[in-house]
Amino acid sequence: MSLISRSNFEQTTIQQLVDSAERVSTDVFDLVHLSLDSGRELILLAVAGENLDSVGMILDGVRDLRRAG
């Protein structure tokens, strides 16, 4: 199931993504890696499922690494 990789980014709202996640009965891991016009990059990640504490802890660790670097 795709929550973001098939989204129309010009028209899809965060609320629509949340609503889609509410309707999904299976676990979802969806990632989009974009190159921006500014030369920077943007990674969008949507993870939906039960018991995501461990995933959240890993992502918190990645954020902490980025801050430290």
Check if the beta carbon of residue 21 is closer than 8 Å to that of residue 1.
no
Range list of β-strands (E), the chain: 28-35, 41-48
pLDDT of the residue at 1: 73
Torsions phi, psi of 45, nearest 5?
-130, 130
Give the amino acid at 53: D
| Mean pLDDT, contiguous 10-residue spans, the chain (69 residues) | 89 95 94 96 96 96 89
pLDDT score, position 49: 95
Helix and strand totals (H; E) in the chain:
2, 2
Q: What is the pLDDT of residue 9?
A: 87
The model carries a pTM of 0.80
